[in-house]
Amino acid sequence: MTTSERQLERDRYRRRRTLTRGAVAAVSTLVVIGLLVYVVGNSPGWDRVHRTYFWWPDAKSSFPEVARSFWLNIRLFMVVEVFVLIVGIVVAIIRVVPAPALAPIKLLAVLYADVFRGTPTLLIVLLVGFGLPALNLTGMPTSLFWLGVIALTLSYGAYVAEVIRAGILSIHPTQWASGRALGMTYGQTMRHVVLPQALRRVAPPLLNDFVSLQKDTALLSTIGLVESLRAAQVISGKDFIFTPYVVAAAFFIAATIPLARFTDYLTVRSLRRENGLIT
């Protein structure tokens, strides 16, 4: 069937409108960026700022050292993220399970969430890093790496538990009802029906916490781990330059981007599967 003249005109108009909108977006972006560059570049102090923070030779020379130590940040947050998810899910489930027998554990879970969300992460890092080894318990890890992992897991597990709990509570009660109606136990319904939906729903805030966690691996420098921020600090202290900090910042930013894109991908995939949306 041929398309009517009227429809062709509409299509032409829509194409034109899309182009115009794209052009407006491109031009306004260029203008804003141009203005920013102009204002910053012409500020009286730009030369000094440029030399101190954005000096290419310094960036090049500090790059290998910062990069090497960033590998430690990566290992830290990869391990911590796994533990945080486990702690978060376990604590969240303990808090929502309606079992009277679990009352003491539930109380503990509430206490844990309250205490560790309320305490500054830096304080937890110091307490765990210096306090735990001082207890002289047998079997207690003494490696700084694992102490750091414990500290961050304790702190972030509390945040993530609350996020996941909110996700579980946001799933409509009819989902519980349909799961139980199939004869599944509470645990099976949680595992196969509610939790998968809850995790999907809270993926964006979870990502937020993980990004924040990746940055907070820098806090572990206080207990003596030479991660990238610490390495940058060493170089900068030696040569009185700040460019290494900016290099370290670039690494932290670069590390969050894959996570963000991965979450986007998961979100779009589930939308497409479940709503038949083509995006």
Closest separation in Å from C-beta 3 to other proteins: 6
What is the helix, strand, coil percentage profile of the chain, to 5? 85, 0, 15
**Beta-carbon-side half-sphere exposure of residue 150 (alpha carbons within 13 Å):** 17
- Find the shortest distance in angstroms from Cβ 178 to other proteins: 16
Nearest approach, Cβ of residue 150 and other proteins (Å): 40
Query: Of 5 and 44, which has the nearer Cβ to other proteins?
Result: 5
Using the minimum distance from each CB to other proteins, give the nearer residue, 11 or 47: 11
- We find the least distance from the C-beta atom of residue 14 to other proteins, in angstroms, to be 5
Cα dist from 188 to 15, 92, 96, 181, 183, whole Å: 51, 16, 15, 12, 9
Q: Minimum distance between the CB of residue 103 and other proteins, rounded to whole angstroms?
A: 29
Q: Distance (Å, rounded) from C-alpha 123 to C-alpha 132?
A: 13
Contact indicator for 168, 224 with CB cutoff of 8 Å: no
In terms of CB distance, is 6 or 273 closer to other proteins?
6
Least distance to other proteins, CB of residue 200, Å:
19
Is there a contact between 222 and 129 (Cβ–Cβ < 8 Å)?
yes
Nearer to other proteins, 103 or 278 (CB): 278
Looking at the Cβ atoms of 16 and 51, the one nearer to other proteins is 16
* Residues lying near other proteins in the complex (CB under 8 A): 1, 3-4, 6-7, 10, 13-14, 17, 278
With a CB cutoff of 8 Å and minimum separation 6, the contacts of 20 are none
| 64 vs 276 by CB, closer to other proteins | 276
- b/e map of 138-171 (b: 16 or more CB within 10 Å)? eeeeeeeeebbbbbbbbbbbbbbbbbbbebbeeb
Nearer to other proteins, 9 or 114 (CB): 9
What does residue 3 show for φ and ψ, rounded to 5 degrees?
-80, 140
Find tokens 């041929």 and name the residue: 2
Instruction: Kindly tell me which of 24 and 49 has the beta carbon lying closer to other proteins.
Output: 24
What minimum distance in Å lies between the beta carbon of 5 and other proteins? Answer: 10
Both structure tokens of 239: 């040569």
- For residue 161, give the nearest of 217, 90, 108, 104 by alpha carbon: 90
Residue 6 CB, shortest distance to other proteins, in Å, is: 7
